[in-house]
């Protein structure tokens, strides 16, 4: 902040003075001459000017919030996948300003899109969960809510994915902070002490009450950095506060004087290591101690921050739940429940019962997965060693809780065992999901199906005890990033027809539904899709050297690589299609470009084998002269928000083909449909709600339902039986298994085919093959009817009103947080 005001210029970024504002930052702040300014210099200068503008609005927002004393939302998440900031900020201002910036940059000899491409994505997340958090921050600001995101400022967020010559994924560490990152404000101005280890001492105070002291701890600073979050066409600018670890004593001069340099800086190294890296796995927690420490670190800093603010505003602690709502994005911040109790009881002297009431009123929890292996538990031994006082608090919460269980279900000892916050089987562990349920007043799933399954499976005992606690809020996406910025051509068309209201009210697109039947509108819609495809085709050529035809169907599956998402089902269709084309080169089926993108967790060997196989199959097919441009397969490396923004608007077909019951919601499905892709998908996650919104005739649904999946597994699923009764499947698997696509190493294919054929294969890939192929045949047939395809595509885009994250946030606000906007 000090730095910001020091460079605060007499030339603000205003309509009519954009050039002066940029030149001012170039010359005065960066010391560059306008004539010799590089693309990067212009990016830097413009970013500083935009950030200053945001800062001013942010300060004003803070003042309004403090005056109005409205309730604040604190969104705690270990991941945020924001994407780039420059265009996002610029396009949140008036249109005229963006236009003038564009023209000014041109007059300086540059193109705004190229300038914007200088920016590094702060990749502080793995996938859907982190992107959801970013979409929610966008909506919170746009709707005028006072909201703060809290997370971790990893030096190394998600790795950069490089594809080797042999097709394998290699992970490259890349720091978004390596090159000066302009979007942070308040560098290091805020810090809190976070404690670890030590021991817990019980004493009696003057009133004879037992007090707990946590002593002999090893402490670190959590230093806060803010990223500003502008609301679209809204005066509200909120912030995302990210914590970075620093030593209390960064340098030990006595050690240095004894010649031990390593010891002199060891404390700083340890503190910084705490926030060095994001664990790059989004579905199987590895139970690493460092991860546990990261969770406590950011929870403790965030709670101190918000309680400190509450006290600074001289509001009584007993009113905390009227002043603050804390949303736990998955169980990663579940220690909030325990840390808030510790702060209220030990630091602020509150009675246990009163503190517990407040804690539950403040906290609510969003569940993101039903996979048992993805439910976090932490060894009791970690607590003993690192958080001894917290362990006592967990035990006390558990005692009170199990008493409540016993009161309602007397004599049901097994229920107590099942529901206990401590898993006593094997090494004793704290069940973080149960802790989150017990410590929250609301628990939500992220799509209707998911929320039902959550109540019926992992939390069924809890739903019997507290039925009113469980609810659904279907995920959504930020319209600004996924339509306004990602697809400027379509946005312009929509605004031409409707005015700009749809930007902040996606349901407004409904009014344009007639246009699906209007030939002229369809024509323009098609031309836009074509232009977007041309842009992506150019990128594909640059990245892969593969030439793709924009007449072909762009068939995309872009998401983390995971067996449950079934990229292999898609790949089987690719192979079968290839064989069909070899059999009959004159087959009239439409051309397709099948695109994949997504990262595999570095330790997930099967996911990495899948990437390698996709690339090897792509290599063979793309270089088979017999096939030409009838079928191309592309794996686009290093999927991130920026690449997603380019792919979504160019897609014709959206592959959402997870095993039913396994994808909690999905949000990629929403982004693609909003940009006019038709979905081929299973009855899973939000696909079901998308089907209801667009109509059965405008989506390609196939495959087993959740119930059928469960039944099939119970019968003892046999892949061999599927192969035996299906010749096309048999042939495709055999071609893969033969090593045809991986002549240098047959094993690269066999690991994958063996998995598909292994008895009881958990994701039932082959069991859905038949129906998937039939659905793909319907896709082909429709695509040949360009006009009808476009009509359905228009209907898809215009039906996405319910999937705006603005709608999600309004539901959280009404049914979970009980808040009103400031403005
Ligand atoms: C939307 C998004 C996701 C989530 O995709 P799903 O298809 O819902 O799994 C993951 N990564 C990025 C970069 C995204 O933008």
pLDDT band at 2 (very low <50, low <70, confident <90, very high): very low
- State how beta strands 553-558 and 653-656 pair: parallel
Check whether 681 has a pLDDT greater than 50: yes
Q: Which residue is associated with the tokens 């990223």?
A: 227
**Cα 651 → chain centroid:** 20
CA-based Rg of the chain, rounded to a whole angstrom? 27
Query: Residue 670 is part of which domain span?
Result: 550-809
Whether residue 797 contacts residue 676, with contact meaning beta carbons closer than 8 Å, is answered with yes
Cβ–ligand 1 distance for 157 under 6 Å, the answer no
Cβ–ligand 1 distance for 640 under 6 Å, the answer yes
258 catalytic? Reply is no
pLDDT band at 125 (very low <50, low <70, confident <90, very high): very high
Separation CA 87–CA 102 (nearest Å): 11
Cβ–ligand 1 distance for 533 under 6 Å, the answer no
User: Would you say residue 303 lies in a domain?
Assistant: no
Q: Output the CA 218–ligand 1 centroid distance in Å.
A: 38
Residue 517, burial from CB neighbour count under 10 angstroms (0-12, 13-18, 19+): exposed
pLDDT digits (tens, 9 = 90+) for 727-774: 999 999 999 999 999 999 999 999 999 999 999 999 999 999 999 999
Q: Output the CA 291–ligand 1 centroid distance in Å.
A: 23
Q: Output the CA 803–ligand 1 centroid distance in Å.
A: 14
Whether residue 387 contacts residue 198, with contact meaning beta carbons closer than 8 Å, is answered with no
Check whether 776 has a pLDDT greater than 60: yes
Give the tokens for residue 549.
Answer: 């035809």
Cβ–ligand 1 distance for 128 under 6 Å, the answer yes
Nearest residue (by CA) to ligand 1, atom 11, is 127
Could you tell me which residues are beta bridge partners of residue 797? none
Tell me which of 257 and 479 has the higher pLDDT: 479
User: Would you say residue 741 lies in a domain?
Assistant: yes
110 catalytic? Reply is no
Separation CA 368–CA 497 (nearest Å): 38
User: Backbone phi, then psi, for 82, in 5-degree steps?
Assistant: -80, -35
How high is the pLDDT of residue 8?
Answer: 54
- In this structure, the dihedral spanned by the alpha carbons of residues 126, 439, 199 and 429, taken in order and rounded to 10 degrees, is -60
Give the tokens for residue 20.
Answer: 């002066």
Which atom of ligand 1 approaches the CA of 598 most closely? 11
Cβ–ligand 1 distance for 125 under 6 Å, the answer no
How high is the pLDDT of residue 738?
Answer: 97
Q: Of these residues, 671, 755, 792, 807, which one is catalytic?
A: 671
Q: How many percent of the chain have pLDDT more than 70?
A: 98
pLDDT digits (tens, 9 = 90+) for 384-408: 999 999 999 999 999 999 999 999 9
Domain CATH code at residue 690: 3.40.50.2000
Cβ–ligand 1 distance for 681 under 6 Å, the answer no
As for how many domains the chain has, the answer is 1
Whether residue 515 contacts residue 794, with contact meaning beta carbons closer than 8 Å, is answered with yes
Nearest Cα to Cα of residue 89 among 182, 188, 7, 225: 182
Could you tell me which residues are beta bridge partners of residue 184? 227
Q: Of these residues, 559, 566, 577, 619, which one is catalytic?
A: 559
Cβ–ligand 1 distance for 267 under 6 Å, the answer no
Check whether 49 has a pLDDT greater than 80: yes
User: Would you say residue 777 lies in a domain?
Assistant: yes
Which atom of ligand 1 approaches the CA of 639 most closely? 13
605 catalytic? Reply is no
Q: Output the CA 194–ligand 1 centroid distance in Å.
A: 33
193 catalytic? Reply is no
55 catalytic? Reply is no
Residue 455, burial from CB neighbour count under 10 angstroms (0-12, 13-18, 19+): buried
Cβ–ligand 1 distance for 668 under 6 Å, the answer yes
Cβ–ligand 1 distance for 706 under 6 Å, the answer no
Check whether 214 has a pLDDT greater than 60: yes
**Which segment of 9-18, 143-152, 501-510, 594-603 scores lowest on mean pLDDT?**
9-18
Q: How many percent of the chain have pLDDT more than 90?
A: 91
pLDDT band at 6 (very low <50, low <70, confident <90, very high): very low
Which atom of ligand 1 approaches the CA of 643 most closely? 13
Residue 714, burial from CB neighbour count under 10 angstroms (0-12, 13-18, 19+): exposed
Give the tokens for residue 474.
Answer: 């279907």
Nearest residue (by CA) to ligand 1, atom 7, is 668
Cβ–ligand 1 distance for 476 under 6 Å, the answer no
Q: Output the CA 299–ligand 1 centroid distance in Å.
A: 25
User: Would you say residue 559 lies in a domain?
Assistant: yes
User: Would you say residue 123 lies in a domain?
Assistant: no
For the full predicted model, state whether its pTM sits above 0.85: yes
User: Would you say residue 473 lies in a domain?
Assistant: no
Which atom of ligand 1 approaches the CA of 640 most closely? 13
632 catalytic? Reply is no
b (16+ CB within 10 A) / e for 210-244? eebebeebeebbbbbbbbbbbbbebebbbbbbbbb
Give the tokens for residue 352.
Answer: 């246990």
How high is the pLDDT of residue 5?
Answer: 45
pLDDT digits (tens, 9 = 90+) for 592-608: 999 999 999 999 999 99
Check whether 3 has a pLDDT greater than 60: no
Q: Output the CA 510–ligand 1 centroid distance in Å.
A: 25
User: Would you say residue 61 lies in a domain?
Assistant: no
Which atom of ligand 1 approaches the CA of 671 most closely? 1
User: Would you say residue 399 lies in a domain?
Assistant: no
Check whether 573 has a pLDDT greater than 50: yes
Nearest Cα to Cα of residue 297 among 195, 368, 447: 195
pLDDT band at 1 (very low <50, low <70, confident <90, very high): very low
Nearest Cα to Cα of residue 274 among 156, 134, 180, 150: 156
Check whether 169 has a pLDDT greater than 90: yes
């Amino acid at each position: 902040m000090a730095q910001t005001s020091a460079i605060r210029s007499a030339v603000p970024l205003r309509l009519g003075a954009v050039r002066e504002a940029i030149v001012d930052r170039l010359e005065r702040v960066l010391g560059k001459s306008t004539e010799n300014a590089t693309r990067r210099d212009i990016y830097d200068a413009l970013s500083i000017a935009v950030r200053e503008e945001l800062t001013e609005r942010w300060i004003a927002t803070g003042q309004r919030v403090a005056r109005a004393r409205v309730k604040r939302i604190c969104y705690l998440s270990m991941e945020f996948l924001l994407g780039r900031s420059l265009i996002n900020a610029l396009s949140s201002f008036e249109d005229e300003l963006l236009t003038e910036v564009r023209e000014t940059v041109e007059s300086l000899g540059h193109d705004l899109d190229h300038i914007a491409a200088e920016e590094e994505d702060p990749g502080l997340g793995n996938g859907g969960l982190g992107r959801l958090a970013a979409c929610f921050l966008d909506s919170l600001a746009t709707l005028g809510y006072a909201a703060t995101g809290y997370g971790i400022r990893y030096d190394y967020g998600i790795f950069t994915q490089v594809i080797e010559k042999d097709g394998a994924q290699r992970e490259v560490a890349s720091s978004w902070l390596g090159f000066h990152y302009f979007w942070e404000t308040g560098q290091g101005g805020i810090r809190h002490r976070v404690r670890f280890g030590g021991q817990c001492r019980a004493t009696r105070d003057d009133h004879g009450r037992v007090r707990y002291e946590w002593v002999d701890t090893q402490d670190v600073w959590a230093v806060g950095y803010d990223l500003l979050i502008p609301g679209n066409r809204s005066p509200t600018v909120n912030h995302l506060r990210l914590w970075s670890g620093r030593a209390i004593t960064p340098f030990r001069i006595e050690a240095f004087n004894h010649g031990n340099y390593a010891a002199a800086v060891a404390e700083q190294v340890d503190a910084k290591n705490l926030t060095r890296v994001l664990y790059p796995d989004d579905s199987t927690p590895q139970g690493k101690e460092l991860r546990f420490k990261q969770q406590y670190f950011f929870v403790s800093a965030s709670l101190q921050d918000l309680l400190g603010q509450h006290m600074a505003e001289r509001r009584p602690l007993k009113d905390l739940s009227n002043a603050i709502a804390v949303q736990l994005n998955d169980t990663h911040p579940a220690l909030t429940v325990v840390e808030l109790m510790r702060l209220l009881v030990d630091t602020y002297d509150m009675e246990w019962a009163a503190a517990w009431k407040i804690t539950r009123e403040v906290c609510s929890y969003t569940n993101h997965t039903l996979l048992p292996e993805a439910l976090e538990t932490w060894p009791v031994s970690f607590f003993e060693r690192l958080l001894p006082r917290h362990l006592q608090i967990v035990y006390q919460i558990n005692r009170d809780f199990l008493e409540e269980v016993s009161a309602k279900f007397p004599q049901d000892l097994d229920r107590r065992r099942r529901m206990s916050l401590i898993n006593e089987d094997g090494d004793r562990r704290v069940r973080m999901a149960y802790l989150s349920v017990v410590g929250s007043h609301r628990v939500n799933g992220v799509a209707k199906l998911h929320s039902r399954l959550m109540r019926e499976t992992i939390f069924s005992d809890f739903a019997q005890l507290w039925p009113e606690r469980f609810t659904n809020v279907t995920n959504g996406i930020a319209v600004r990033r996924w339509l306004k910025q990602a697809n400027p051509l379509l946005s312009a068309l929509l605004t031409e027809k409707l005015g700009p209201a749809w930007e902040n009210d996606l349901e407004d697109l409904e009014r344009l539904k007639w246009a699906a039947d209007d030939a002229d509108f369809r024509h323009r819609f098609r031309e836009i899709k074509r232009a977007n495809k041309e842009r992506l085709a150019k990128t594909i050529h640059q990245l892969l050297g593969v030439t793709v035809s924009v007449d072909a169907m762009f068939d995309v599956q872009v998401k983390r690589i995971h067996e449950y998402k079934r990229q292999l089902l898609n790949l089987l269709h690719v192979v079968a299609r290839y064989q069909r084309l070899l059999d009959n080169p004159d087959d009239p089926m439409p051309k397709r470009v099948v695109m994949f993108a997504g990262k595999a967790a570095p330790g997930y060997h099967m996911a990495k084998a899948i990437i390698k196989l996709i690339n090897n199959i792509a290599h063979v097919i793309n270089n088979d002269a017999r096939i030409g441009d009838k079928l191309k397969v592309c794996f686009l490396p290093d999927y991130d928000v920026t690449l997603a923004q380019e792919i979504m608007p160019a897609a014709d077909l959206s592959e959402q083909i997870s095993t039913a019951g396994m994808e909690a919601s999905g949000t990629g499905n929403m982004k693609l449909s909003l940009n006019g892709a038709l979905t081929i998908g299973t009855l899973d996650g939000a696909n079901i709600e998308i089907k209801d919104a667009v109509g059965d005739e405008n989506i390609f649904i196939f495959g087993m339902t959740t119930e059928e999946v469960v039944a099939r597994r119970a019968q003892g699923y046999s892949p061999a039986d599927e192969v035996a009764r299906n010749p096309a499947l048999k042939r495709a698997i055999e071609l893969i298994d033969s090593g045809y696509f991986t002549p240098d190493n047959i094993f690269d294919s066999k690991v994958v085919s063996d998995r598909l054929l292994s008895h009881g294969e958990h994701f039932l890939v082959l069991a859905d093959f038949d129906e998937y192929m039939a659905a793909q045949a319907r896709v082909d047939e429709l695509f040949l009817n360009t006009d009808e395809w476009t009509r359905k595509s228009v209907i898809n885009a215009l039906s996405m009103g319910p999937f705006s994250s603005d709608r999600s946030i309004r539901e959280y606000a009404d049914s979970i947080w009980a808040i009103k906007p400031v403005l």
